[in-house]
């Protein structure tokens, strides 16, 4: 068979490529260790990195382990002067090549958070294998490695458990607030806003939490719980805010999807109100060099339960509930703002960003926004609308008392 010169060269090139690739980035599934969680602590001058790896044999539906004889995940720890060094040194521990593409969560120890997270963040955002859809959290009163060593209930992989737990509570409770890498980097770089990171605590008996025993109980001995948020000034953590304050931040930042609040009735009972939609609008006016910040909130809510004797058929009752809801929300936000202003002295609400946008001239005269924020006047104007009151009209309390 005689080939044209062009065809001959073409074939040579194609065949050549096969020998030249070396398949450098080819890794079979049973040759990689899927890293799902990463913890960063500081030990002396060095970083201590913990890496949580899935043991796929124990996780899949067709697990051959016979009811969990092996741990579903393995956590390795290694120290290094820099993060990459610790990672490479990890190869002496891990039997397989670490693969970071399915990282679910990164935990910072409180120590490292207080000392500044700029250095580890560089590696995390520079590495090509890591995506940026994982969450970043700070371990409250614990080291990151302790968090990654704790067994989790239901979802056998702790990091997965943490990931879904955070996503769901952010969606339904708004008292947590999930932070991804991009958001954190933007917040840290923005002058008019300080960064926040979700906090995580290990509750209960940590010793039992590190054994499989924890998963054999109906009530786990130890658990990983999200609580409040860590507040950062630039890259250093300066303090904690609690759940209600986190929720206030979410209200102002327009990141409340759904949540629940309680107001008191005149007769001492309580009404639960579930927020189904919330929209915030921040307007800035300048009084000379002091900004006046007006936060307008439009909240839609459903009545979840009525534990007091009220005539729910009256429009006036609904109006009263709306008013109580507005007061409650205003109260939460006012309290949070005054505590953040007074004790932490940083703007985690992002008011500075709005000043920059709406009053650019005034913004350029401001040297230290946090200082200005401390004296700024913040007014909150919530507007609450009740949409649905559920499947019954009158409360059970009203029905039974009214007849008796």
Partner 1 sequence: MNHVQDTADEALSYQLKDNLHRIKQDSGNSSDIKCREVHIEISGAASVKGIVAYTDGLSDSQALLNSLMNGPFLFEADSGHSSSLLIYLKDHVITESGVTEIESITTLFDHLLSGDSILLLEGSNSALAIGTKNLKARQVEEPNVQAVVRGPREGFTEVLSWNTAMVRRKIKDRRLWIEKKTIGTVTKTEVAIAYIDGIVAKEILAEVRQRLELIEIDGVLESNYIEEHIQEKRFALFPTVFNSERPDVVAAQLLEGRIAIMVDGTPFVLIVPAVFTQFFQSSEDYYQASVFSSLIRLLRILAFILALVTPSFYIAVTTFHQELLPTTLLYNLASQREGVPFPAFVEALMMEVTFEILREASVRMPRTIGQSISIVGTLVIGQAAVEAGLVTAAMVIVVSITAIANFVMPAFNLGITVRIIRFLLMALAASFGLFGLFLGLIVIVVRLCSLHSFGVPYMSPLAPFRISDQKDTLFRLPLPMMKKRPVTIPKENNIRQRDR
Q: Which is nearer to partner 1, 33 or 380 (CB)?
A: 33
In whole angstroms, the minimum distance from the beta carbon of 2 to partner 1 comes to 12
Nearer to partner 1, 160 or 278 (CB): 160
CB of 103 to partner 1, least distance (A): 10
Nearer to partner 1, 6 or 403 (CB): 6
Q: Three-state secondary structure along the chain?
A: CCCCHHHHHHHHHHHHHHHHHCCCCCCCHHHEEEEEEEEEEEECCEEEEEEEEECHHHHCCCCCCCCCCCCCEEEEEEEECCHHHHHHHHHHCCCCEEECCCCCEEEECHHHHHHCCHHHHHHHHHCCCCCCCCEEEEECCCCHHHHHHCCCCCCCCHHHHHHHHHHHHHHHCCCCCCCEHHHHHHHHHCCCCCCEEEEEEEEECHHHHCCCHHHHCCCCCEEEEEEEEEEEECCEEEEEECHHHHHHHHHHCCCCCCEEEEEECCCCCEEEEEEEEEEEEEEEEEECCEEEEEEEEEEEEEEEEECCCCCCCCHHHHHHHHHHHHHHHHHHHHHHHHHHHHHHCCCCCCHHHHHHHHCHHHHHHCCCHHHHHHHCEEEEEEEEEEEECCCCCCCHHHHHHHHC
Q: How far is the CB of 29 from partner 1 (least distance, A)?
A: 4
Cβ 102 to partner 1 shortest distance, Å:
5
Q: CA-to-CA distance for 107 and 145, rounded, in angstroms? A: 8
> Which C-beta is closer to partner 1: that of 23 or that of 218?
23
| CA–CA gap between residue 84 and residue 80 (Å, rounded) | 8
Supply the angle between the helices 181-189 and 118-126 in degrees, to the nearest 10. Answer: 130
Tell me whether residue 97 or residue 387 sits nearer to partner 1 (CB atom).
97
Residue 29 or 218 with smaller CB distance to partner 1: 29
CB nearer partner 1, residue 25 or residue 368: 25
Between 56 and 239, CB nearer to partner 1: 56
Q: Least Å distance between CB 100 and partner 1?
A: 9
Q: How far is the CB of 333 from partner 1 (least distance, A)?
A: 37
| Least distance from partner 1 to the Cβ atom of residue 105, Å | 12
For residue 71, the minimal CB distance to partner 1 (Å) is 14
Nearest-approach distance from CB 226 to partner 1, in angstroms: 20
The binding site for partner 1 (CB under 8 A) comprises 17-18, 21, 23, 25-30, 32, 34, 36, 54, 56-63, 99, 101-102, 104, 129, 131, 160
Give the residue with the Cβ less far from partner 1, 21 or 377.
21
* Contact predicate 17/43, CB 8 Å: no
């Amino acid at each position: 068979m005689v080939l044209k010169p062009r065809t001959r060269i073409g074939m040579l090139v194609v065949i050549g490529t096969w020998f030249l690739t070396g398949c450098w980035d080819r890794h079979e599934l049973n040759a990689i260790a899927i890293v799902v969680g990463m913890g960063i602590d500081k030990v002396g001058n060095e970083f201590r990195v913990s890496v949580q790896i899935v043991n796929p044999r124990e996780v899949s539906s067709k697990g051959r382990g016979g009811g969990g004889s092996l741990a579903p995940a393995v956590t390795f720890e290694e120290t290094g002067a820099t993060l990459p060094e610790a990672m490479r040194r990890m190869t002496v521990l891990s039997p397989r090549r670490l693969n970071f593409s399915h990282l679910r969560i990164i935990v910072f120890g409180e120590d490292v958070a207080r000392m500044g997270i700029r250095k580890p963040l560089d590696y995390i955002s520079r590495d090509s294998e890591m995506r940026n859809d994982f969450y970043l959290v700070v371990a409250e009163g614990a080291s990151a490695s302790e968090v990654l060593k704790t067994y989790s209930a239901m979802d056998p992989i702790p990091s997965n458990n943490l990931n879904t737990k955070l996503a769901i509570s952010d969606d339904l409770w708004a008292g947590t607030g999930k932070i991804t890498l991009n958001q954190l980097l933007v917040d840290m770089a923005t002058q008019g806003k300080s960064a926040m990171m979700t906090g995580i605590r290990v509750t209960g008996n940590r010793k039992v939490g590190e054994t499989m025993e924890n998963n054999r109980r109906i009530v786990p001995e130890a658990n990983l719980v999200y609580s409040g948020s860590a507040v950062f000034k630039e890259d250093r953590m300066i303090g904690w805010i609690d759940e209600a304050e986190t929720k206030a931040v979410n209200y102002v930042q327009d990141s409340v999807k759904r949540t629940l609040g309680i107001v008191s009735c005149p007769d001492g009972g309580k009404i639960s109100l579930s927020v189904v939609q919330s929209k915030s609008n921040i307007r800035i006016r300048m009084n000379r060099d002091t900004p006046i910040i007006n936060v307008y909130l439009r909240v839609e809510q459903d009545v979840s339960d009525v534990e007091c004797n009220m005539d729910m058929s009256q429009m006036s009752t609904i109006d009263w509930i709306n008013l109580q809801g507005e007061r409650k929300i205003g109260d939460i936000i006012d309290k949070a703002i005054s505590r953040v202003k007074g004790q932490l002295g940083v703007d985690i609400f992002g008011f500075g960003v709005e000043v920059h946008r709406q009053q650019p001239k005034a913004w350029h005269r401001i040297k230290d926004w946090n200082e200005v924020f401390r004296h700024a006047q913040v007014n909150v104007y919530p507007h609450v609308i009740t949409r649905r009151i559920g499947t019954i009209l009158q409360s059970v309390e009203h029905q039974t008392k009214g007849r008796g």
